[in-house]
Copies of this chain bind each other. A is one copy, B any other.
Amino acid sequence: MGRHTRGPADDRPQALAHEWSAAPSDALRWSAGGDLSAVDPSSTPGWEGGKAEATELVAAHADELSELQERLFAEGRSGGSRAVLLVLQGLDTAGKGGIVRHVVGLVDPQGVMHRSFGAPTEEEKAHGYLWRIRNALPRPGHIGVFDRSHHEQVLVVRVEGLEPRAEWEAHYDEINAFEAEVVASGTTIVKVALVISRDEQKQRLTERLERPDKYWKYDPGDIDTRLRWDDYVAAYQDMLDRTSTEVAPWYVVPADRKWFARLAVSELLLDALRSLDLGWPAADFDVEAEKRRLAGS
């Protein structure tokens, strides 16, 4: 499909959505037996449009995303227990922060619970690795966003040898059990692995070293991580193979093109919200009686 003709303004989101040749959730969902190293980080699976159309579709879907978030929030305030958790994983510079700013930033901050997970603090270390994760789970009605997550326990912990193999090997099943429990409690989990190329990472790190307003994003440890690239790819491969489940599947998003990664995550998030079939909560009071009380007040 090439450029489409422009329809009336109201049809625009729908027309743009047709640039997807497959539903994003199908095109990006990790399939068992897949080969991560075969994923082209500059590809745009399922998307036949370009950057302009992608940017336009994100903007066109912003109102729906925002309204569904408000419905979820309303449900949470009315006794509902559902929530959504967006998990973002990816190597340094993969664009996790940009997605938070440009995609999560489209909805009301009141309904967002964002948390970044770096190296654990002393207090956190005194507990199991899921302790700080549990504490950061979204409350009912909220969209939680994890910038890195419990999955680092089978990524950095494994690659850097922070635990012996027998320990980190046990985490895959623990993670699956934990996520099944979270899903059973009413939280829809959307797990996104952002995939960038070595070249693109080099370019992004170079930019951080060339711009004084980006120094703060640079960490010399990023190079150490970079030097273990293949080990990380292997760890990501196993994470995908062993923690992509029916209830909490992984979506693999090529991220060399920032505009595609942002489009993909906004569509996956929208998809998750749509799947909840959110209405507005019914009044749990007598509307007419309250109108009379208000009139007399």
Residues in chain A within 8 A of chain B (CB atoms) = 74-75, 77-78, 97, 100-101, 104-105, 108-110, 112, 114, 116, 145, 147, 202, 205-206, 209, 212-213, 215-218, 220, 223, 226-227, 280-283, 285, 287, 290-291, 293-294, 297
The residues of B that contact A97 with a CB separation of less than 8 Å are 108, 110
Q: How far is the CA of A110 from the CA of B105 in the complex (A)?
A: 9
SS class, residues of chain A in contact with chain B: helix
Whole-angstrom distance between the Cβ of A284 and the nearest chain B Cβ: 8
Q: How far is the CA of A285 from the CA of B283 in the complex (A)?
A: 58
Whole-angstrom distance between the Cβ of A141 and the nearest chain B Cβ: 10
Q: How far is the CA of A149 from the CA of B238 in the complex (A)?
A: 46
The residues of B that contact A294 with a CB separation of less than 8 Å are 202, 205-206, 209, 223, 226
CB nearest neighbor in B for A216: B74
User: Are A218 and B290 closer than 8 Å at their CB atoms?
Assistant: yes
User: Are B226 and A297 closer than 8 Å at their CB atoms?
Assistant: yes
User: Are A100 and B108 closer than 8 Å at their CB atoms?
Assistant: yes
